[in-house]
Structure 1
């Protein structure tokens, strides 16, 4: 697949891009060569899936792969992973997308399996049935996740839980938020990060939010739709790091975006990267800023060192009080 695809999370949100704007953006991404469209039954409560479905019914070019998720929409079930709710949601997803099975990737979007993981076995069983029946090609699970402003201990706790669930779920793909501000937390005693861990297990990666909800492209720290959980105390390290990147690589339009996207794209050869978008121009900008050449080894080392200093500065600034975290 083309390593850079679309994350259609904002479709159907209020406020969010209009339907005709989304369809134009989908066309532009496909014309740029994108092959992966990522959505979920929770994005606009199915509206994202339906808009993608309408686009797929009109697109006559190269084959597009579709990723969707389950686990955040409960409906009338006692839990999103209870009984046959996964099957019900899957059938609705297929209908929304105007697709015939198999769906390329179907991901457990939440690692909340109820009290004492009550619904874990049920969720795992039903996902495997979907794959065995040929309804989905690959099973995904959410990667370790915490708010960016969370202390390192919380990231370590989430990493340990992810590893525990990974061995039980046995996914084909891990879907996770990842960018230059993501804390580097080892998953195993041998010091493996998520990239080494998934490579050793033969599991693919989908990396979402490579621009950290616009922060790494120079966007504002506070936006209602940016679930990063950062506070005013984090502005200093982020601003200083972005300026250091400009000093090293120049201040031409798209430079910050190129660095953030290239860093993720070059992180592993078993990963695809997906980015959110506002409109057709935003899609054009992200594909155009990549340029023809990857970052060289020295450039990549400099960029990653600056991102590491930004992460350290954010951790030193301390977390945002729980009641103030933007979700």
Structure 2
């Protein structure tokens, strides 16, 4: 597995990591043994970056990762967690007292004295602009509670605000073949500033796997059922904000593009991940996985050969013709 420096953290991480939202909830039930099997398979495939959050299953995802690390401390891992969504989303909530409380809870869950990387978890826009928030995070670094901090964002403008801050180590942002706006300014700005980019939702909540159609149903506790229009959290987190029926049609076009111009024997999901991983400025792609087979397949995307110019042009054409009008201006 290739690795890259994760921005200002000073750590090298695998170019394909593992997102662990699904180990906590909102994707249907995943048992703890199944979750452990996913972590095992990922590490065996060369993954060295796990991304989690304190609200994934109210800390369940963090605790599972903490137990995994405790079972074999020699495994080389960077664990990035996220914080801030345990309270009502008002800028005033992001105080040193709260940030210390939240990170202390994550330290207990993960069994770490010092957290590798803490990311603000898509807070209100005003938080990214608040000097006091960065001062509080700097205090936690000085105290040894966290080694580095970054942000997770919904919008490109929020990312650019954070990148301008001198101690922000990384930015996590939705980036996939159905969400191209970060290519305009965010990736160049991050690369110039030495800020890492963690690309989440690389498969547009599974659409880019090519496995879904207009008849596919999802369980009631899966956000792909209950958040299609932003009922529970930002709509962009579900299918990248793409209307489901339009997304199914666009995914079929993406699959056809993979068959015509993609690497032989690679699945649409692998090519979708590789397309993101091969973008200049991207540090690591963090797809989720519900079983070991998915985890191994996702990790294998890191070793695909460079994608052709024809394929990349096809992705741009697909986005411009089918999705740009509805997506580009929103996030």
Who is 1:294 aligned against?
305
Residue among 230, 244, 249 paired with 2:242: 230
Pair 1:213 & 2:205 matched: yes
User: Structure 2: 5+ residue runs without aligned partners?
Assistant: 1-12, 225-237
- Alpha-carbon spacing, 1:70–1:289, altered in 2? closer, same or farther (3 Å): closer
Deviates more, 1:120-129 or 1:216-225: 216-225
Report how many aligned residue pairs link the two structures. 294
By relative contact order (CA 8 Å, sep 6+), the higher-ranking structure is: 2
Q: How does 1:154-303 map to 2 (within 5 A)?
A: 158-168=155-165, 170-184=167-181, 193-220=185-212, 223=218, 224-226=222-224, 227-228=238-239, 229-231=241-243, 232-249=245-262, 252=265, 254-268=266-280, 271-290=283-302, 292-295=303-306, 299-303=307-311
Pair 1:124 & 2:121 matched: no
Give 3-state SS (helix, strand or coil) of 1:10's partner.
Answer: helix
Q: Deviations over 1:229-264 (max 9, x none)?
A: 322244333322321322333774x42122112212
Residue among 7, 17, 24 paired with 1:5: 17
Asked if 2 retains the 8 angstrom alpha-carbon contact of 1:81 and 1:120, the reply is no
RMSD: 2.9
Within 1, Cα distance between the matches of 2:316 and 2:130? Answer: 35
How far is the alpha carbon of 1:203 from its aligned partner? Answer: 1.0
Give 3-state SS (helix, strand or coil) of 2:168's partner.
Answer: coil
Q: Deviations over 1:248-292 (max 9, x none)?
A: 33774x4212211221222136611211010112112222455x4
Asked if 1 retains the 8 angstrom alpha-carbon contact of 2:242 and 2:323, the reply is no
Taking structure 2 as the reference length, the TM-score comes to: 0.79
Pair 1:314 & 2:331 matched: no
Within 1, Cα distance between the matches of 2:95 and 2:294? Answer: 39
- Alpha-carbon spacing, 1:130–1:316, altered in 2? closer, same or farther (3 Å): closer
- Alpha-carbon spacing, 1:81–1:257, altered in 2? closer, same or farther (3 Å): same
Taking structure 1 as the reference length, the TM-score comes to: 0.79
Deviates more, 1:31-40 or 1:208-217: 208-217
Q: How does 1:4-83 map to 2 (within 5 A)?
A: 4-13=16-25, 15-74=28-87, 80-82=93-95
How far is the alpha carbon of 1:93 from its aligned partner? Answer: 0.2
Within 1, Cα distance between the matches of 2:175 and 2:192? Answer: 19
Deviates more, 1:38-47 or 1:229-238: 229-238
- Deviating runs (4+, > 6 A) in structure 1? 75-78
How far is the alpha carbon of 1:18 from its aligned partner? Answer: 0.9
- Alpha-carbon spacing, 1:294–1:44, altered in 2? closer, same or farther (3 Å): same
